[in-house]
C-alpha cells in the first residue's frame, strides 16, 4: 500500500514524459491533479485503517543490498502518517494552484510528480539509506524546480546555493548514518532494528560524534540559526508552488529526522546534548522572528517566519530530551506539539507562500512598500491572507495555536528560562504579520504599474482560491477539532518519549 | 444539558463565522441574521443561567476543553448576551455599519467572550481570550482605509497580546506544578515555585486585557473603532474579560500572599490615576474610555480584596452604563461629526430620547444614588475596607473623581451651546426606532441594577455566586458615598468651564494618558525594531557572508588543486607521452620495420589517456562535488566491506 502511494506519482511522471510535447498544458496539470487526488485518497484509506496504538503499520521489507545491511523497508506510525498526509494535501493544493502555469508545463508536472514520490518516500522510509536516498533526491528535484521555474537569473544562483548547502548537510547526515550502522552488530541501516538495538549505548564519545553529524545535517535542512541562510534566497526566487512545497514538506524532513532517527536511536546522547537543541531552538525562534520583522519583501519575510516556527519544534524536541524535574505528560505534550507544528506549518506557511505567489503573478514583485490598500481591489485575497496570517501567528481556531500551545506548555516544565524567552516569539510574529497585513492590504489603495501590458489587478482566480482555501480549511479543522490528528500522534509521541528516556 | 452549553457558544460563533465568510453577498441579510443570532444567544444564556449546563471534550493529553455555566458564569453570559444584542440592535440604525463583516465580527467577538467566561480549563479560556483579541483587531480597524485606525488596531492587539503571554506562561507553570488537568479550579493547588509563576502570568494577562496600568493606553487608541465596537469592547468583552478572570481565580490570588494586595493596589491606582486622566480629557469618547479603565479598576480592586460579589455588581452595572454612554456618543458622532466636548455643547437637548438616556447613564457613572454604580462601588469599597482601610480611602477618592468627570461631561452635553444649534440644523434626521429601543433598554438596566444595593437582592447575588460570607457595605458607608457624590456632582457642575489652578504640564500629561504609549514606544517598540534591523543586516552581511566566503575559499582551493593537477600531474602525463613519443621515434629510427605501426598506436593511446586524465579538472564546482560524492561513497563502501 505504502509502496503504491509512494511510487504512483513517479509512474505517472514517467507516463507524462512519454506523452506528446504538443498536448495541451492543462492536460498535464489535470493528470497531476488526478494523480494527487488518488494518492490522497489512498492516504485517507490508510488513515482510517491505521490503528494509532499499534505502532508501525503497513510495513513492507524487502532485502536490497543485504551484504551492507541495506533494505527496502517502509511503514508508517503516528509520527510519519500525519506528515505523509500533509505532503499529499500540499501536493494536491499545489497541483490545483498550478493550473495557471504556462512555462514548460510537461516537465514542470513531471518534476513535481517525481518530487512527490521522493517526499512521501522520506516519511515512509524505515531504512537509513532509503531515507538518505529520498532525502537527497528531494534536494535534486527542488534544485530543478527553483532553477527551472524560479524568478529569472537570480533563481539559478539561489538554486545552486540551496543545492550545495543542503547537499553538504546531507553528506554530514550520511556520515552519521554510516557511523550508526557500523556501531550495530550485525551492521544494519534498518531504523526499526537500530531503534531496538540502541547501538551506541555506553560509547559516549562515539555517540556524540554520530549525533553531531546527524544533528548538523538535519539542522541545515530544518533550517536553524545559524545555518539557515540558504532559505531566504531559495524561497524568494522559487516559484510559488516550489516555495509551498519547500516550506511545507522539505523543511519537515529535517525536523522529522530528529523524531524518527536522532531521538530514538541515540537516546543517551540526545539527553546529554538536549540543551544544545534547546538553545538552538530558542535562538531560531527569536532571531528568526526579529529578522523577519525587519524584512521589506513579503516572501522573504514569510521565509524567515519558517525559521521561527521550526525553532519551536527544535525547542520542543530538545525539551523532551531533558528529563530533570518533569513528568511524562509534559514531555509528551512537547513532542505531540512538535509534530502538530510540522503539520500546521506545512498548511499555513504553504498557504502563505501561495498567497505570495498571487502577488507575484500580478506584479512580478514582493516588496511590501510598493503595495497598499489591496483589500479595496481584492477583498478575497486580503481576507484569505488575513486568515492565513492570523493562523500563522497562532490565533486559536487554526492549527498553529494547537501546536504552539502544546510545545510551550510542555517545554516550560523542563526548560523554564528557554521557554520563557521563546514565548516572546509569539509576540514578534504577531507584530510582523499584522504589520505586513497593514502595509500590503490596508490603508489607501496603491498598486504599482504592471511590467507588461496587463494593468488589471484581479482578485483570486478560482484555482488559486480553491488551493489556498483547502489548506486553510484543514488548518481550521485541526484548530477547532484537533482530536482526529492528536489521536494519531499521541500514542507515537508517548512511545518516543519512553524511547528517549530509556 | 451538554448540548445547551455547546449551543450557547456555537450559535454566535457559527452565525458570525458564516456572515464573515459570506462577505458582501450577505450584507443585506446581515442585520436580520445578526440580531436574530444575538437574540437566540440571549435566550440560550437565559436558559443556561437557570439550568446551569456543563460540557467537556478531550483536547490534549490529559487536558480537557470544558464549558460550564456556574453562578459567576451565569451572570456573565446573560450580561454579555444582553449587551451584545442591544448593541447589535442599535447598529441596525447605522448605515455605515450595516454589513456582513461588521455583524459577523461582532458576533465572533461576543462568542469569544462567552467561551472565556464559561471555560473551565485554561486552554479553552485562552482560546476564547485570543480570538477575542484577534476580532478586536478587526473591529477597531473596521474602517481600514484610514491608516491611523489600522495603527490603533495594531496597538491594541499587540499590547493585549504582550500581556496574553502571561496566560501561556501560566499554562506551562500549572502543568509543571502538578495541576496537570489545567482545570481552573485546581490551579490554586499548584506547587511552588510554579504557583508564583502561574499567578504572575494570570495577573499580568488580566491587567493587560482590562487596560489597567501600565497598559491602559491601548484603550485610548481603541476609540478609533466604530462606536458600537467601543460599546461592546468596554462593556461586556475585552476589558471585562480581564476583570472576570481575576474574579474567577480569586482563590488563586488568595493562595499566594502577595497576589491579592498587588491586584487590589493595581486596580485602586488605575481607578485613581485614570480618573484624573478622564477629567483632563476634552473629547467625550476619550473621557469615557479613561473612565472605563477607572471603573474596571474598581472590579480589579474587588477581586484583589476578595469581594467577588461587589466586583460582579460593579462589572454588570458598568456594562449597562458604559454601553449606553458609548452608543449615545456614537449617535452624536454620526449626526454632528464630532466627539469633542466643546462641539457637543447642548447636544443632549436636541435629540430628546438620546439626551434623556445619556443623562441617566452619566448620572449612573457619577455614582449618584440610588443608581446601579453607586451600589456597585460601595460593595467594592466595603470589601476594600475589610481588607485594608487605606485601600478604602484610595477607592473613595477615585469614586469622587468619577463623579467629577461625569459632571464635566454632563455640563457640556446638557447646557445649551453650539452642539444644540448644529443639532437643530440637522435635526430632521431623528434617531431610528431600533436605536431608541437599544438606548432605553440599557438605560433601564443601568437604573434597575441599583436594586443590588438592597439587602435582599444583594444576598441573592451572593448566593448565586456562592460567596455568602463577603462583607456588605454598612449604612454609614452608603450614606457617606451618597452625600459625597451629590456634593461632588454639584461642585463639578459649578467648576466645569472655569480655569483650574493646575500647571499645564500636568494637565497635558493627563490629557495624553500619562504618556504611556510614548513610553512603550521609546522603551519597547523602537529598540525592538532597531534590534530587528540590526539582526537582519547581521544576517545578510555576516552569517550569509561567512558561508559565501567559505564557498569561495573552497572554490579557490579547488582551482589551486586543478592548477596543480594541470601542471604537475597532467604535466607528468604529457611528459610521459612525450617520452613515449620520443621513445617511439627512436624505436622507429631503430626499427623502421613492422613494429612501427604498433608504436604509433601506443603513442596515440597514451595521448588519449592524457586527455582523459585532464577531463575531471574542469574548474566547475558542482562537478568537483560529484566527484567528491563518488569518492565518499567509495570510501563508505570500503568502510562497510572492511568494517
DSSP, collapsed to helix, strand or coil, labels residue A445 as coil
Q: Tell me if A252 sits within 8 A of A346, measured CB to CB.
A: yes
In a domain, A96, yes or no: yes
How do residues A240-277 score in pLDDT, each as one tens digit?
999 999 999 999 999 999 999 999 999 999 999 999 99
In this prediction the pTM is 0.89
When comparing pLDDT for B567 and A251, which is higher? Answer: A251
Task: Mark residue B58 as left, alpha or beta (left: phi above 0; alpha: psi -120 to 50; beta: remaining).
Answer: beta
In a domain, A134, yes or no: yes
Residues of chain B with pLDDT > 70: what percent? 93
pLDDT exceeds 60 at position B489: yes
Q: Tell me if B155 sits within 8 A of B218, measured CB to CB.
A: yes
Euclidean distance between CA atoms B283 and B286, whole angstroms: 5
Confidence of residue B427 (pLDDT cuts 50, 70, 90): low
In this prediction, residue B618 carries a pLDDT of 64
Are A178 and B639 a contacting pair at CB < 8 A? Answer: yes
| Torsion on CA atoms A329, A305, A163, A148, rounded to nearest 10 | 130
Query: How far off is chain A from B220, nearest CA to CA, in Å?
Result: 19
User: Chain-wide mean pLDDT for chain A?
Assistant: 92
User: Chain-wide mean pLDDT for chain B?
Assistant: 88
Confidence of residue A4 (pLDDT cuts 50, 70, 90): very high
Q: Tell me if A329 sits within 8 A of A494, measured CB to CB.
A: no
Are A290 and B528 a contacting pair at CB < 8 A? Answer: yes
Contacts of B632 (CB under 8 A, 6+ apart): A171, A174
Are B175 and A329 a contacting pair at CB < 8 A? Answer: yes
Query: How far lies B158's CA from each of A359, A390, A435, B595, in Å?
Result: 26, 13, 10, 92
In this prediction, residue B426 carries a pLDDT of 65
Q: What is the mean pLDDT of the segment spanning B247-272?
A: 93
Nearest to B62 among A67, A293, A329 (CB): A329
Euclidean distance between CA atoms A494 and A443, whole angstroms: 49
Cell 460599546, residue located: B231
In this prediction, residue A69 carries a pLDDT of 87
Q: Provide, as residue numbers in chain B, all residues whose Cβ is less than 8 Å from the Cβ of A159.
A: none
Searching chain A, which residue's CA lies closest to the CA of residue B530? Answer: A294
Q: Extract the C-alpha cell encoding B589.
A: 629510427
In a domain, A241, yes or no: yes
In a domain, A76, yes or no: yes
Distance of CA B104 to the CA centre of its chain: 18
In this prediction, residue B414 carries a pLDDT of 87
Are A294 and B175 a contacting pair at CB < 8 A? Answer: no
Q: Tell me if A366 sits within 8 A of A356, measured CB to CB.
A: yes
Are A291 and B529 a contacting pair at CB < 8 A? Answer: no
Nearest to B180 among A329, A441, A490 (CB): A329
Where would I find the H helices in B93-210? 100-118, 122-140, 147-176, 194-209
Query: How far off is chain B from A156, nearest CA to CA, in Å?
Result: 13
pLDDT exceeds 80 at position B223: yes
Contacts of B605 (CB under 8 A, 6+ apart): none
Q: Provide, as residue numbers in chain B, all residues whose Cβ is less than 8 Å from the Cβ of A375.
A: 144
Euclidean distance between CA atoms B178 and A327, whole angstroms: 9
In this prediction, residue A296 carries a pLDDT of 92
State the total domains in chain A.
Answer: 1
Confidence of residue B428 (pLDDT cuts 50, 70, 90): very low
In this prediction, residue B129 carries a pLDDT of 95
Are A413 and B176 a contacting pair at CB < 8 A? Answer: yes
How do residues B530-540 score in pLDDT, each as one tens digit?
898 988 888 88
Confidence of residue A87 (pLDDT cuts 50, 70, 90): very high
Residues of chain A with pLDDT > 90: what percent? 74
Of A100-109, A398-407, B496-505, give the range with the top mean pLDDT.
A398-407
How do residues B307-356 score in pLDDT, each as one tens digit?
899 999 999 999 999 999 999 998 888 888 888 888 888 888 887 888 89
Helix (H) or strand (E) holding B461: helix B455-465
pLDDT exceeds 80 at position B637: no
Query: How far off is chain B from A440, nearest CA to CA, in Å?
Result: 12
In this prediction, residue B469 carries a pLDDT of 80
Q: Provide, as residue numbers in chain A, all residues whose Cβ is less than 8 Å from the Cβ of B551.
A: 164
Q: Tell me if A207 sits within 8 A of A266, measured CB to CB.
A: yes
Distance of CA B209 to the CA centre of its chain: 7
pLDDT exceeds 90 at position B121: yes
Are A395 and B639 a contacting pair at CB < 8 A? Answer: no
In a domain, A502, yes or no: no
In this prediction, residue A122 carries a pLDDT of 95
Question: Omega before B573 cis (within 30°)?
Answer: no
**How many CA atoms are closer than 13 Å to the CA of B59, on its beta-carbon side?**
29
Euclidean distance between CA atoms A327 and B429, whole angstroms: 67
Euclidean distance between CA atoms A156 and B302, whole angstroms: 65
DSSP, collapsed to helix, strand or coil, labels residue A165 as helix
How do residues B191-222 score in pLDDT, each as one tens digit?
888 999 999 999 999 999 999 988 899 998 88
In this prediction, residue B596 carries a pLDDT of 58
Searching chain B, which residue's CA lies closest to the CA of residue A494? Answer: B61
Confidence of residue A457 (pLDDT cuts 50, 70, 90): confident
Euclidean distance between CA atoms B219 and A312, whole angstroms: 32
Euclidean distance between CA atoms B111 and B41, whole angstroms: 9
- Angle made by CA atoms B319, B321, B322, in degrees to the nearest 5: 70
Q: What is the mean pLDDT of the segment spanning B390-414?
A: 91
Q: What is the mean pLDDT of the segment spanning B4-8?
A: 93
Whether ipTM > 0.90 holds is yes
Are A426 and B165 a contacting pair at CB < 8 A? Answer: yes
End-to-end CA distance of chain B: 69
pLDDT exceeds 60 at position B473: yes
Helix (H) or strand (E) holding B572: helix B571-590
Q: What is the mean pLDDT of the segment spanning A319-346?
A: 88
pLDDT exceeds 70 at position A454: no
Indicate the DSSP class of residue B522. Answer: I
> Phi/psi at A64 (nearest 5 deg)?
-125, -65
How do residues B233-253 score in pLDDT, each as one tens digit?
998 899 999 999 999 999 999
Q: Provide, as residue numbers in chain B, all residues whose Cβ is less than 8 Å from the Cβ of A287.
A: 535, 539
Q: Domain residues for A284?
A: 2-448+457-497
Q: Extract the C-alpha cell encoding B4.
A: 445547551
In a domain, A226, yes or no: yes
Query: How far off is chain A from B169, nearest CA to CA, in Å?
Result: 7
pLDDT exceeds 90 at position A216: yes
Mutate to test the interface with A, among B536, B545, B555, B630 (most CBs of A within 10 A): B536
Nearest to B532 among A290, A330, A430 (CB): A290
Contacts of A18 (CB under 8 A, 6+ apart): none
Q: What is the mean pLDDT of the segment spanning A278-287?
A: 95
In this prediction, residue B592 carries a pLDDT of 67
Q: Provide, as residue numbers in chain A, all residues whose Cβ is less than 8 Å from the Cβ of B536.
A: 290-291, 294-295
In a domain, A74, yes or no: yes
How do residues A301-310 score in pLDDT, each as one tens digit?
999 999 999 9
Amino acid at each position: 500500500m505504502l509502496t503504491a502511494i509512494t511510487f504512483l506519482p513517479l509512474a505517472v511522471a514517467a507516463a507524462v514524459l512519454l506523452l506528446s510535447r504538443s498536448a495541451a498544458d492543462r492536460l498535464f496539470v489535470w493528470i497531476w491533479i488526478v494523480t494527487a487526488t488518488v494518492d490522497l485518497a489512498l492516504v485517507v484509506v490508510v488513515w482510517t485503517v491505521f490503528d494509532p496504538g499499534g505502532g508501525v503499520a503497513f510495513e513492507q521489507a524487502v532485502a536490497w543490498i543485504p551484504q551492507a545491511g541495506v533494505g527496502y523497508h517502509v511503514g508508517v506510525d503516528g509520527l510519519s502518517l500525519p506528515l505523509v498526509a500533509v505532503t499529499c494535501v500540499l501536493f494536491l493544493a499545489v497541483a490545483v494552484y498550478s493550473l495557471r502555469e504556462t512555462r514548460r508545463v510537461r516537465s514542470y508536472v513531471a518534476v513535481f510528480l517525481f518530487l512527490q514520490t521522493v517526499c512521501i518516500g522520506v516519511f515512509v522510509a524505515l531504512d537509513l539509506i532509503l531515507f538518505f536516498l529520498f532525502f537527497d533526491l528531494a534536494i535534486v528535484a527542488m534544485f530543478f524546480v527553483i532553477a527551472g521555474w524560479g524568478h529569472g537569473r537570480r533563481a539559478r544562483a539561489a538554486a545552486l546555493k540551496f543545492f550545495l548547502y543542503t547537499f553538504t548537510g546531507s553528506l554530514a547526515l550520511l556520515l552519521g548514518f554510516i557511523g550508526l550502522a557500523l556501531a550495530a552488530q550485525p551492521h544494519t541501516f534498518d531504523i526499526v532494528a537500530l531503534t531496538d538495538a540502541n547501538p551506541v549505548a555506553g560509547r559516549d564519545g562515539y555517540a556524540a560524534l554520530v549525533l553531531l553529524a546527524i544533528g548538523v545535517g538535519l539542522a541545515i535542512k530544518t533550517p536553524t540559526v545559524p545555518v539557515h541562510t540558504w532559505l531566504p534566497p531559495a524561497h524568494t526566487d522559487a516559484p510559488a508552488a516550489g516555495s509551498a512545497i519547500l516550506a511545507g514538506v522539505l523543511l519537515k524532513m529535517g525536523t522529522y529526522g530528529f523524531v524518527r532517527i536522532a531521538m530514538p536511536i541515540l537516546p543517551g546522547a540526545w539527553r546529554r546534548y538536549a540543551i544544545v537543541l534547546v538553545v538552538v531552538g530558542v535562538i531560531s525562534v527569536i532571531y528568526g522572528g526579529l529578522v523577519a520583522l525587519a524584512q521589506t519583501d513579503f516572501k522573504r519575510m514569510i521565509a524567515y517566519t519558517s525559521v521561527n516556527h521550526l525553532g519551536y519544534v527544535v525547542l520542543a524536541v530538545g525539551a523532551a530530551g531533558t528529563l530533570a524535574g518533569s513528568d511524562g505528560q509534559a514531555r509528551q505534550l512537547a513532542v505531540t506539539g512538535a509534530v502538530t507544528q510540522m503539520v500546521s506549518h506545512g498548511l499555513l506557511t504553504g498557504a502563505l507562500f501561495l498567497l505570495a505567489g498571487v502577488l507575484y503573478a500580478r506584479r512580478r514583485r514582493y516588496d511590501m512598500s510598493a503595495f497598499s490598500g489591496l483589500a479595496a481591489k481584492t477583498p478575497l485575497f486580503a481576507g484569505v491572507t488575513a486568515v492565513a496570517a492570523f493562523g500563522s501567528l497562532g490565533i486559536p481556531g487554526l492549527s498553529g495555536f494547537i501546536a504552539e500551545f502544546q510545545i510551550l506548555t510542555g517545554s516550560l516544565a523542563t526548560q523554564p528560562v528557554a521557554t520563557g524567552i521563546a514565548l516572546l516569539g509569539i509576540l514578534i510574529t504577531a507584530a510582523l504579520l499584522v504589520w505586513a497585513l497593514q502595509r500590503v492590504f490596508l490603508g489607501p489603495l496603491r498598486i504599482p504599474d504592471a511590467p507588461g501590458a496587463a494593468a488589471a489587478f484581479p482578485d483570486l482566480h478560482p484555482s488559486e482560491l480553491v488551493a489556498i482555501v483547502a489548506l486553510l480549511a484543514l488548518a481550521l479543522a485541526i484548530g477547532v477539532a484537533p482530536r482526529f490528528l492528536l489521536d494519531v500522534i499521541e500514542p507515537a509521541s508517548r512511545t518516543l518519549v519512553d524511547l528517549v528516556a530509556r | 444539558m451538554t448540548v445547551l452549553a455547546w449551543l450557547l457558544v456555537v450559535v454566535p460563533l457559527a452565525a458570525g463565522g458564516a456572515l464573515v465568510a459570506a462577505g458582501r453577498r450577505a450584507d443585506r441579510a446581515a442585520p436580520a441574521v445578526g440580531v436574530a443570532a444575538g437574540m437566540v444567544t440571549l435566550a440560550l444564556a437565559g436558559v443556561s443561567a437557570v439550568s446551569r449546563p456543563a460540557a467537556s471534550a478531550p483536547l490534549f493529553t490529559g487536558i480537557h476543553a470544558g464549558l460550564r455555566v456556574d453562578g459567576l458564569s451565569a451572570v456573565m453570559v446573560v450580561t454579555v448576551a444582553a449587551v451584545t444584542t442591544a448593541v447589535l440592535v442599535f447598529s441596525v440604525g447605522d448605515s455605515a455599519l450595516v454589513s456582513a463583516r461588521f455583524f459577523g465580527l461582532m458576533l465572533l467577538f461576543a462568542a469569544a467572550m462567552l467561551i472565556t467566561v464559561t471555560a473551565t480549563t485554561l486552554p479553552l479560556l485562552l482560546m476564547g481570550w485570543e480570538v477575542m483579541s484577534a476580532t478586536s483587531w478587526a473591529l477597531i480597524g473596521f474602517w481600514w482605509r484610514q491608516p491611523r485606525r489600522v495603527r490603533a488596531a495594531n496597538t491594541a492587539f499587540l499590547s493585549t497580546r504582550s500581556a496574553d503571554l502571561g496566560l501561556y506562561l501560566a499554562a506551562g507553570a500549572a502543568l509543571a506544578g502538578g495541576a496537570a488537568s489545567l482545570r481552573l479550579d485546581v490551579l490554586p493547588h499548584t506547587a511552588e515555585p510554579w504557583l508564583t509563576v502561574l499567578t504572575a502570568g494570570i495577573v499580568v494577562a488580566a491587567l493587560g486585557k482590562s487596560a489597567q496600568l501600565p497598559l491602559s493606553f491601548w484603550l485610548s487608541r481603541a476609540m478609533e473603532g466604530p462606536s458600537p465596537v467601543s460599546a461592546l469592547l468596554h462593556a461586556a468583552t475585552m476589558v471585562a474579560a480581564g476583570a472576570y478572570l481575576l474574579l474567577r481565580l480569586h482563590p488563586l490570588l488568595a493562595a499566594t500572599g502577595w497576589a491579592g494586595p498587588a491586584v487590589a493596589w493595581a486596580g485602586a491606582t488605575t481607578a485613581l490615576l485614570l480618573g484624573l486622566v478622564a477629567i483632563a480629557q476634552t473629547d467625550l469618547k476619550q473621557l469615557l474610555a479613561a473612565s472605563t479603565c477607572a471603573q474596571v479598576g474598581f472590579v480589579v480592586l474587588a477581586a484583589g480584596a476578595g469581594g467577588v460579589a461587589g466586583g460582579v455588581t460593579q462589572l454588570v452595572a458598568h456594562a449597562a452604563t458604559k454601553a449606553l454612554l458609548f452608543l449615545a456618543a456614537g449617535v452624536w458622532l454620526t449626526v454632528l461629526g464630532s466627539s469633542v466636548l466643546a462641539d457637543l455643547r447642548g447636544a443632549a437637548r436636541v435629540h430628546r430620547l438620546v439626551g434623556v438616556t445619556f443623562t441617566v447613564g452619566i448620572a449612573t457613572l457619577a455614582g449618584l444614588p440610588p443608581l446601579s454604580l453607586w451600589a456597585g462601588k460601595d460593595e467594592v469599597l466595603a470589601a476594600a475596607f475589610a481588607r485594608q482601610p487605606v485601600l478604602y480611602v484610595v477607592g473613595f477618592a477615585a469614586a469622587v473623581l468619577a463623579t467629577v468627570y461625569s459632571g464635566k461631561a454632563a455640563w457640556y452635553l446638557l447646557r445649551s451651546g453650539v452642539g444644540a444649534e448644529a443639532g437643530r440644523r440637522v435635526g430632521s434626521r431623528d434617531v431610528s426606532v431600533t436605536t431608541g429601543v437599544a438606548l432605553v433598554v440599557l438605560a433601564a438596566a443601568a437604573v434597575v441594577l441599583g436594586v443590588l444595593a438592597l439587602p435582599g437582592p444583594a444576598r441573592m447575588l451572593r448566593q448565586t455566586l456562592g460567596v455568602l460570607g463577603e462583607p456588605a457595605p454598612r449604612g454609614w458607608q452608603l450614606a457617606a458615598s451618597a452625600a459625597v457624590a451629590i456634593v461632588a456632582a454639584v461642585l463639578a457642575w459649578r467648576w466645569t468651564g472655569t480655569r483650574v489652578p493646575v500647571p499645564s504640564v500636568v494637565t497635558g500629561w493627563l490629557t495624553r494618558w500619562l504618556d504611556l504609549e510614548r513610553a512603550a514606544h521609546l522603551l519597547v517598540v523602537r529598540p525592538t525594531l532597531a534590534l530587528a534591523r540590526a539582526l537582519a543586516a547581521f544576517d545578510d552581511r555576516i552569517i550569509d557572508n561567512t558561508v559565501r566566503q567559505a564557498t569561495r575559499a573552497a572554490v579557490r582551493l579547488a582551482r589551486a588543486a586543478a592548477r596543480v593537477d594541470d601542471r604537475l600531474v597532467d604535466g607528468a602525463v604529457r611528459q610521459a607521452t612525450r617520452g613515449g613519443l620520443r621513445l617511439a621515434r627512436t624505436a622507429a629510427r631503430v626499427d623502421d620495420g613492422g613494429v612501427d605501426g604498433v608504436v604509433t598506436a601506443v603513442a596515440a593511446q597514451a595521448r588519449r589517456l592524457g586527455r582523459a586524465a585532464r577531463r575531471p579538472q574542469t574548474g566547475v564546482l558542482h562537478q568537483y562535488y560529484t566527484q567528491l560524492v563518488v569518492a565518499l561513497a567509495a570510501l563508505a563502501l570500503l568502510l562497510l566491506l572492511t568494517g
